């Protein structure tokens, strides 16, 4: 949730941090700062998000959203940080007149480092993981309205759209892309995907179930086709088929 809120207006205020200033003879002599930043230089993509969702929330996105009802604090936050390549660390700045000397805490010891700019570490993580942030934005943003989160599964919302007449056509999406055009998650584990128009844009995209519900313009002839993954791995069109033909007459 921190990564989502960090992209909103005033997002910097949502980042966990602390600062402590030591004052001697009325002048600051040392400043301690805690901040969130990258644990390594490896970029994290959709797979990292899906792993967190599966390992901690049973692949149910509502489990993540429910944490907001108690401030979004998680007893497993440290484990989730590890999986997302993040670390909460401290640095200090020693002040001697106009001179500044910086140190970062590593393995229980203060080690000299180059000058540090607050929140620069998180910005570095953001720049390296734009794809991950794009995914989180696509998944969470459409689900909030006036402070209320919508957590209904996309599959539950799509199943009422299934149309027997369309299913009977036996038409398949033979070569869908490997990932969702909107949030970029892999489509291989999805139950439903769509080839549909994007809401408010007019362009078409292949979308996962979530993005079909929250970013698509709808399912219907000329608007979008819905596909279901069958036992043989093929994608059968189950809604949004064209006008039916019977005995050569268009209905």
Q: What does residue 74 show for φ and ψ, rounded to 5 degrees?
A: -125, 130
> Tokens representing 151?
């957590």
Domain boundaries, the chain: 2-146, 154-250
Confidence at residue 182, expressed as pLDDT on a 0 to 100 scale: 94
Please give the angle made by the CA atoms of 38, 187 and 61, to the nearest 5 degrees.
Answer: 60
Query: Residue 245: what pLDDT?
Result: 44
> What pLDDT is attached to residue 68?
86
pLDDT at 109: 95
Q: Which two tokens stand for residue 133?
A: 């942030």
Length of the chain: 251
pLDDT of residue 195: 97
- Pull the structure tokens for residue 85: 């390549």
pLDDT, averaged in runs of 10, over the chain (251 residues)? 89 88 96 94 93 93 88 89 94 95 93 92 94 93 85 92 95 94 93 95 93 95 96 96 53 38
Q: Which pair of structure tokens corresponds to residue 87? A: 């670390």
**Which of 207-229 are b and which e, b meaning 16 or more Cβ less than 10 Å from the residue's Cβ?**
bbbbbbbbbbbebbeeebbbbbb
The whole-number pLDDT of residue 74 equals: 86
pLDDT value, residue 209 = 96
Query: What b/e string do you get for 122-157 counting C-beta neighbours within 10 Å, with b at 16 or more?
Result: beebbebbebbbebbebbbeebeeeeeeeeebbeeb
Cα 19 to Cα 17: distance, rounded to the nearest angstrom: 7
SS3 of 194, please? strand
Best CA proximity match to 127, nearest among 43, 4, 52:
43
**Angle of helix 46-57 versus helix 130-140 axis, rounded to 10:** 50
Residue 232 CB neighbour total at 10 angstroms: 7
CA distance linking residue 5 with residue 169, whole number of Å: 44
| pLDDT score at 244 | 58
Q: Where are the beta strands (DSSP E) in the chain?
A: 18-24, 27-38, 86-96, 99-106, 109-113, 144-145, 148-149, 172-173, 192-197, 204-208, 224-229, 235-239, 245-246, 249-250
Identify any residues that bridge with 247 across adjacent strands, giving them in sequence order: none
Report the Cα 56 to chain-centroid distance in Å.
15
């Amino acid at each position: 949730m921190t990564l989502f809120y960090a992209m909103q207006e005033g997002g910097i205020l949502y980042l966990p941090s602390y600062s402590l200033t030591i004052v001697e003879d009325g002048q600051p002599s040392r400043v301690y700062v805690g901040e969130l930043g990258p644990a390594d230089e490896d970029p994290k993509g959709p797979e990292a998000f899906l792993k967190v969702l599966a390992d901690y929330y049973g692949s149910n996105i509502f489990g993540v959203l429910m944490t907001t009802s108690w401030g979004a604090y998680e007893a497993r936050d440290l484990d989730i940080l590890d999986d997302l390549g993040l670390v909460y660390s401290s640095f200090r700045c020693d002040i001697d007149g106009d001179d500044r000397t910086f140190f970062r805490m590593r393995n229980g010891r203060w080690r000299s480092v180059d000058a540090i700019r607050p929140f620069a570490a998180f910005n570095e993580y953001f720049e390296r993981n734009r794809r991950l942030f794009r995914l989180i934005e696509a998944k969470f943003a459409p689900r909030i309205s006036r402070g209320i989160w919508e957590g209904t599964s996309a599959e539950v919302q799509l199943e009422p759209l299934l149309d027997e007449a369309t299913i009977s056509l036996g038409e398949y999406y033979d070569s869908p892309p490997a990932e969702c055009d909107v949030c970029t998650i892999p489509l291989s584990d999805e139950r439903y995907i769509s080839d549909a128009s994007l809401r408010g844009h007019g362009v078409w995209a292949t979308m996962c179930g979530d993005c079909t519900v929250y970013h698509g313009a709808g399912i219907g002839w000329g608007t979008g086709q819905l596909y279901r993954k069958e036992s043989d791995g093929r994608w059968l069109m189950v809604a949004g088929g064209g006008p039916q033909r019977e005995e050569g007459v268009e209905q």
